[in-house]
């Protein structure tokens, strides 16, 4: 039984013969290798066209902004996986990426969807931007959904990464409707949810990229691509300066056992 959509068995990304490799219509050897940056190539692979200078710089800025943020859970998972299986660098990278979800790194994609919903509501209803933001945010709250891309446990007054990305978008002439929506959400949140939440990096990335012409459905890949580089850096350090088992020991020491136990038992994690 056939499952899935009835689509033609083709791909428009790459093809090859014994002499030539073609990527999105470009000769890989003659046109791309040594001539474009990896950021250019990423945009080409995803969108099918080479980016403008402004698009390349905007994507590059977002990748730099999100590649590293300390010993977050995904990094800890990767380091402890490598400590347990030092022969499997690829498994450790995969473990780190599998630890990226709606809370860590996934919010950029959901924030992008939020902005798209607000713009769609504004276009459908003919309302003002503030009215569209208010309607969609109230719907999120009624459904007990978090407002993705706002608030941060460390950056309370402002997220400096988000501020910088918006400044770059202005410098490059890419500041547009999605950036305006992102700022409107931040401005209206105190009224709508009774407390202020600042834009964080996960709302800045989608608004600047969507205004640059990057596709909504590929947003989730940007933090994953960026964080892969960070993970490889951590995993090299893990091989030369291991802390994976130290993190495991610290967790065992920090968490107390409070389940059933034989009389007189005292947990002592050494």
172 domain-assigned: yes
36 domain-assigned: no
* Residue 196 and residue 138 share a domain: yes
* Residue 67 and residue 121 share a domain: no
Query: In the numeric block, which tokens belong to residue 239?
Result: 């091989």
Nearby residues of 155 by Cβ (< 8 Å), 6 or more positions away: 198, 200
7 domain-assigned: no
* Residue 121 and residue 100 share a domain: no
Q: How many domains does the chain have?
A: 2
pTM of the complete model: 0.92
- Cα–Cα–Cα angle for 50, 53, 58, rounded to 5 degrees: 95
Residue 267 pLDDT:
78
* Residue 230 and residue 201 share a domain: no
**180, 129 contact by CB (below 8 A):** yes
Residue 270 pLDDT:
61
- Whole-angstrom distance, CA of residue 21 vs CA of residue 13: 11
18 domain-assigned: no
Q: Domain boundary at 171, 200, 218, which? A: 218
Residue numbers of the domain that contains 141:
113-218
Residue 153 pLDDT:
62
Among 233, 197, 198, 199, smallest CA distance to 74 is for 233
* Residue 119 and residue 91 share a domain: no
The CATH number linked to 178 is: 1.10.230.10
197 domain-assigned: yes
- For residue 232, CA distances in Å to 25, 64, 85, 98, 257 come to 31, 14, 15, 15, 34
Burial of 47 from C-beta contacts in 10 A (0-12 / 13-18 / 19+): middle
3 domain-assigned: no
- Whole-angstrom distance, CA of residue 86 vs CA of residue 270: 23
* Residue 232 and residue 205 share a domain: no
* Residue 187 and residue 164 share a domain: yes
* Residue 241 and residue 151 share a domain: no
- Cα–Cα–Cα angle for 246, 249, 255, rounded to 5 degrees: 140
- Whole-angstrom distance, CA of residue 179 vs CA of residue 157: 19
Q: What is the pLDDT along the chain (270 residues), one digit of tens a residue?
A: 677 777 788 999 999 999 999 999 999 999 999 999 999 999 999 999 999 999 999 999 999 999 998 898 999 999 999 999 999 999 999 999 998 887 777 899 999 999 999 999 999 999 999 999 999 999 999 999 999 999 876 666 789 999 999 999 999 999 999 999 999 999 999 999 998 899 999 999 999 999 999 999 999 999 999 999 999 999 999 999 999 999 888 888 888 888 898 988 887 766
């Amino acid at each position: 039984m056939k499952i899935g959509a009835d689509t033609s068995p083709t791909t428009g990304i790459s093809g090859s013969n014994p002499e030539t490799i073609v990527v999105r219509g470009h000769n890989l050897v003659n046109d791309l290798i040594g001539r474009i940056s990896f950021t250019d190539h990423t945009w080409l692979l995803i969108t099918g066209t080479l980016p403008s200078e402004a698009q390349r710089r905007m994507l590059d800025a977002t990748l730099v902004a999100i590649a590293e943020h300390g010993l977050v859970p995904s990094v800890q998972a990767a380091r402890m996986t490598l400590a347990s299986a030092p022969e499997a660098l690829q498994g450790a990278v995969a473990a780190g990426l599998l630890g990226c979800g709606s809370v860590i790194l996934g919010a950029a994609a959901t924030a992008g969807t939020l902005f798209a919903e607000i713009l769609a509501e504004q276009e459908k209803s003919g309302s003002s931007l503030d009215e569209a933001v208010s309607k969609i945010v109230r719907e999120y709250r009624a459904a007990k959904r978090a407002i993705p891309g706002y608030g941060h446990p460390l950056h309370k007054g402002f997220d400096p990464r988000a501020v910088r990305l918006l400044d770059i978008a202005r410098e490059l002439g890419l500041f547009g409707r999605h950036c305006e929506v992102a700022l409107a959400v931040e401005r209206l949140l105190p009224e709508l949810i009774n407390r202020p939440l600042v834009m964080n990096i996960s709302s800045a990335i989608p608004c600047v990229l969507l205004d640059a012409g990057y596709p909504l459905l590929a947003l989730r890949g940007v933090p994953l691509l960026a964080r892969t580089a960070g993970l490889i850096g951590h995993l090299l350090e893990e091989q030369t300066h291991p802390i994976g088992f130290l993190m495991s020991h610290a967790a065992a020491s920090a968490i107390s056992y409070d389940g059933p136990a034989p009389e007189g038992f005292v947990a002592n994690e050494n």
